[in-house]
Amino acid sequence: MGETRTAAVQYCLIGGNVSHSPSPAMMNAAFSAAGIRATYLTVNVEVGQLPEKFRELKQAGVRGMNVTIPFKNSIMPLLDKLDEVSSRIGAVNVVESRNGKYTGHNTDVDGVMGPLSARFPDLLLRHSLVLGAGGASRAFLEAMRRMGCAKVTVAVRDKSRAATFIEEMTRACEGLEIELRSLRECGSIRSSIDLVFNATPAGSPGQPFPSEILRLIDSRTIVFDALYRPVETELIQWAKEMGCRGLYGYEMLLGQGLAAFKLWTGKEPPVQAMKDALLRRLEVVGE
C-alpha cells in the first residue's frame, strides 16, 4: 500500500471581489518555502451572504482567513473571540482557528508599522493625515498611537458619515488627537504634515486622487498608499515628482501577510520568498 498523505490545511481570503488578489501567490509561496502542506485560496462573498459563507468555510475546516473589504467589521459578530486590538479598534483582517474556535485579529496594524519602522527607524511623527474612514484607517490610527504620533487628521468627503468613526477611534486610541475634516477643509491646514496615508481607492484608474491632499505634500512629507494596484498610484507618482519618500501598497500587504503567517503557523515567515512571489504577481521589477 502507498503512503497516506495528510490532507493540506486550508486558508483563504474572503472579500467582495478578491479573485485577482495577489495574496494567494504570496501565501502559497510562504507555505511552500516553510515546508508546510497548506493551500490558500480566494473566496468571493456577496454582501448579505457572509454568515452563510463563513459557516460553510468553518464546516470545511478552513484553518485561517484573511478578511478584506467590505467585511472587516461585519465578520466580528460571527467570531467566537476577538483579540484586544481588533476588539478595541473595531476591525478584523485575520481569523485564526484553534481548537474549533475562531478568533479575530488585526495584522493591518503590523502592515502599517512594519514598513515605516524598517524604512525610517528614527521616525518622529507629529501630525499625520489619513484619507478615508474604513478598516484600513482604523489600523492606521492604532499604528500612529503606538508610534507616538501626536495628531492625526482624518480627511473624508462627507463628514457626517464619519462621525461615529471618529467617536469610536477617539475612545480606542487614547492619547492620540484625532480631528475630522472634509476634503474642502483640508486646504486650510497650515501645520506641516509628516505623513499622508491613503486608505481609499482614490488614485486608481477612474478615481482621481484629491488635489486638496496633494497640495499638502512637500519634499519633507512621507506618503504611504495602501492601494497596491496599480503599483505606481497617482499618490506615489506625485511623491516622486515632489522629491519626497513614498511607501507602496504592496509593502503593507506584505507586512500584514508576514504577521498572519506567524499567527497561523507559529513559525517565522519566509520574508524573501513571500516578497518575491508578491512582486512577481504584481509584475514589479527591480524593487
| Contact indicator for 12, 218 with CB cutoff of 8 Å | no
| Contact indicator for 13, 21 with CB cutoff of 8 Å | yes
* Catalytic residue check, 72: yes
Out of 53, 58, 72, 240, the active site residue is 72
CB neighbour list of residue 96: distance below 8 Å, 6 or more residues apart:
63, 64, 102, 103, 105, 263, 264
Cell 459563507 found at = 53
Question: Exposed (0-12), middle (13-18) or buried (19+): which is 101, by Cβ within 10 Å?
Answer: exposed
> Among positive and negative, which fits the CA dihedral 45, 275, 123, 202?
negative
C-alpha cell at 109: 496594524
Question: Which residues carry out catalysis?
Answer: 72
